Amino acid sequence: MQFRNLALYLQKLEETSSRIEITKILADLFKNSHVSEIDKTTYLVLGQLAPSYQGIVFNMADKMVVRAISLAYKKDNAEVIRLFKQKGDLGEVVSSLSLSKNNKLSILEVYEKLVKIAQDEGGGSQERKVGDLAKLFSEVDSLSAKFISRMTLGRLRLGFSDKTILDALSWLVKGDKSAKLSLEKAYFVLPDVGLLAKKVKELGLEKAVKEIKPVIGVPVLPMLAQRIKNPQEMIDKMGTVSVEPKLDGLRLSIHYKKGQFVKAYTRNLNENSWMFPELKKIGEQIKAREVILDSEAVGLDEETKKQANFQTTMTRRRKHEIEKTLQKISIEFFVFDLLLKDGENLLNRSYEERRKKLGEVVKPGKILKLVDYEITKDSARINELFREKIKEGFEGIIVKKANASYVSGRTGWRWVKMKQEENSQAKLADTVDAIVMGYTVGKGKRAQFGVGQFLVGIKKGEKILTTTKIGTGLTDEQFREMKKRLGRLEVKEKPKEYEVQKNYLPDYWVTPSLVVEIAADEITVSPTHTAGLALRFPRLVRFRDDKAPEEATTLSELKKLFEMQKV
């Protein structure tokens, strides 16, 4: 398929707000895509070049794309900047400057050129990127150039994510959403919608899904915990359970292949192996050729010899300070699950079977620690263990169904977390992971920060619904950090995913990228917030750089928290 045909599909998707119509347009695109290009096409409609775990990104700022536009269309930089300020979108700037209607480049040819630009590194790479992008602009029609410019800046967002791609693949093979569950199950194990689309196109649905299993070097979407305050309800729903301490660390999937590599992936599927040089030495603690381990990375303060909190552990993300941070904060990796051993898929094995094998595979030592656990079916014992773990400095406990398989996501009553006793006076049983949607400029003292309040929302399918505005409880440093982060995410128009009533419109919109953990006194019914529920006296706990927007709290989860506070 020629790229200009893909650009026509992208234009149609941009102009469409109906979720079902977007799904049908994508299904038609996949129907007309050749098996050799459908994976690349899938990445491009999502505004990316590969699944996130591969880390192929453009790293191009507005200034670089402005220079490429100037070079491509022989315009002064000042003229392009003026148009950018006027239109607020470099895609529209390109479209207005390009007079070309010719474009014979195929999707594969454009994709290869974009990958080359993204992967160009080293001395002089910025100039080469600008030159190569300018050349590409000059080779394509104005509509294609518009979407290419947005892709390079990470601003293509058309209001859908991987989940809608799965819906579209179901429409492709079934004409409805009936295949979504089997596609989701495969995606959770191999979170690469491009590869999944190619397998479906090439092999058919059943064979494609059957072939999927964990692969070393490809992160499995993590299993997540639901919330229950009442231990007796846990026993009623789950039967015999295992109780583990709840750690305040960074969830980490560790992939080990003897003599070859160790990779580490956070729960948002980003590869962060560079943060943990300690993992290079874990081979002496593993009795297997290859494994995928589920773990929690927890910092250890070298002065106090106590476990550090999440924010301290996350200081490891500053690459230029990694050596200095290593001396202050060492890391211990608390392992609690085994998903693959020497090619054997363990996802369908019970929790108890996996824990038994984990004990045989991992030899506890300085780097890898095995998380303690106790099997019980006594609700009183769960309460006792909760109090013990709180005294030991843990956040609470994780209670796991003993005979449950490993199922990605937060589905069923397989894992639950308990951070309060059932007779606790606190109304809200847990924090909320919300997506920052926009911000309002501050007044008075806050004017110096550039942020006075920020609007946050939660997920409902592909939609993001408002649930509160936050303007208090932040330190001066947090206000400055918030402005710094949001400044990089600003967009002129409200993203298509957002549903916001007019009394909550912010001064500036931002792309749905930043996840923040919010604490509140309680949840109340709200006639004005689009979620229908609001957080009362909200306050920022921390930035959740380890979580993608897709992992934010959902409306159904917020409703469960609302019901739990009544108990």
Residue 362 to residue 402: CA distance in whole angstroms:
20
Phi, psi (rounded to 5 degrees) for 227: -120, 130
CATH number, domain with residue 293: 3.30.470.30
CATH number at residue 452: 2.40.50.140
373: how many CB neighbours lie within 10 A of its CB?
Answer: 19
User: Distances from the Cα of 305 to the Cαs of 299, 317, 332, 467, in angstroms?
Assistant: 10, 21, 12, 39
| Known catalytic residue at 443 | no
Query: What's the full length of the chain, in residues?
Result: 567
320 pLDDT higher than 60: no
Identify whether residues 407 and 448 lie together within a single domain: no
Domain membership of residue 10 (yes or no) is: no
Amino acid (1-letter code) at residue 360: E
- Residues 341 and 440 both lie in one domain: no
pLDDT number for residue 501:
96
Instruction: Tally the domains of the chain.
Output: 2
Residue 368 backbone dihedrals phi, psi, to 5 degrees: -95, 130
User: How much is the average pLDDT of 46-50?
Assistant: 96
Same domain, 511 and 364: no
Quote the tokens at residue 340.
């693959």
- Give the residue from 390, 418, 446 where a domain finishes: 418
When the pLDDT of each residue in the chain is averaged and rounded to a whole number, the result is 91
The number of beta carbons lying within 10 Å of the beta carbon of residue 123 is 7
Burial class (CB in 10 A: 0-12, 13-18, 19+), 98: buried
| pLDDT above 90 (res 196) | yes
pLDDT at 329 over 90: no
Round to whole Å and give the CA distance between 428 and 520. Answer: 7
Q: Which long-range contacts (CB under 8 A, 24 or more apart) does 384-387 make?
A: 385/243, 386/231, 386/418, 386/421, 387/421
Q: What is the pLDDT of residues 357-367, one digit of tens each?
A: 999 999 999 99
Residue 232 confidence (pLDDT): 94
Is residue 326 included in any domain, yes or no?
A: yes
Residues 463 and 344 grouped into a single domain: no
How many CA within 13 A on the CB side of residue 47? 17
Using one digit for the tens of pLDDT, what is the confidence trace for 110-136?
A: 999 999 999 999 899 999 999 999 999
Please indicate whether residue 311 or residue 225 has the higher confidence score (pLDDT).
Answer: 225
Q: What is the pLDDT of residue 248?
A: 87
Tell me how far apart the alpha carbons of residues 371 and 247 are, in angstroms, rounded to a whole number: 10
The residue range of the domain holding 295 is 226-418
Give residue-wise pLDDT tens across range 85-111. 998 899 999 999 987 777 789 999 999
> Quick check: 72 and 93 in contact, CB under 8 A?
no
Residue 473 near residue 539, CB atoms below 8 Å: yes
Residue type, 94: V
330 and 403 assigned to the same domain: yes
Co-location of 411 and 439 in the same domain = no
Q: Are residues 500 and 394 in the same domain?
A: no
Distance CA 244, CA 222 (A): 17
**114, part of any domain:** no
Q: Which H or E element spans position 73?
A: helix 62-73
How far apart, in whole angstroms, are the C-alpha atoms of residue 19 and residue 460? 12
Distance, CA of 75 to CA of 67 (rounded, Å): 9
Q: Report the percent of the chain where pLDDT is more than 90.
A: 73
Do residue 307 and residue 454 come from a single domain?
Answer: no
Establish if 69 belongs to a structural domain.
Answer: no
Q: pLDDT tens across 15-32, in order?
A: 998 999 999 999 999 999
Residue 244 in domain:
yes
217 domain residue, yes or no: no
Least confidently predicted of 227-231, 253-257, 536-540: 227-231
Q: Residue 427 pLDDT > 80, yes or no?
A: no
Give the global pTM: 0.86
148-174 mean pLDDT = 93
Q: Taking a C-beta distance cutoff of 8 angstroms, is the pair 248, 417 a contact?
A: no
Q: Is the pLDDT of residue 303 over 70?
A: no
Q: Do 351 and 260 share a structural domain?
A: yes
- Name which of 407, 500, 548, 554 is nearest 46 in CA terms: 548
* C-beta neighbour count of 38 within 10 angstroms: 25
CA–CA distance from 387 to each of 343, 407, 416 (Å)? 40, 28, 16
Beta-bridge partner residues of 522: 536
- Is residue 388 scored above 90 in pLDDT? yes
Residue 395 near residue 212, CB atoms below 8 Å: no
Which tens digits make up the pLDDT trace of 163-189?
999 999 999 999 999 999 999 999 999
Report the pLDDT value the prediction gives residue 386, as an integer from 0 to 100: 94
Which of 359, 383, 418 is a domain's end point?
418
Residues 462 and 558 in one domain: yes
Active-site position among 146, 246, 417, 469: 246
What pLDDT is attached to residue 423?
Answer: 56
Residues above pLDDT 70, as percent of the chain: 93
Tell me whether residue 49 is in a domain. Answer: no
What's the sign of the alpha-carbon dihedral 153, 155, 160, 161?
positive
Strands 396-401 and 374-376: unpaired
User: Are 442 and 380 part of one and the same domain?
Assistant: no
| Residue predicted with more confidence, 529 or 332 | 529
Residue the block writes with tokens 């454009």: 110
What pLDDT, in 10s, does the model give residues 476-503?
888 989 999 998 899 888 999 999 999 9
> Could you give phi then psi for residue 495, rounded to 5 degrees?
-55, 145
Same domain for 239 and 359? yes
pLDDT surpasses 80 at 318: no
Q: What is the pLDDT of residue 328?
A: 66
Among 362, 391, 418, give the residue marking a domain's end: 418
| Residue 61 falls inside a structural domain | no
Provide the residue type at 352 as one letter.
E
- In Å, how far are 457, 504, 528, 539 from 466, measured between CA atoms? 4, 8, 9, 15
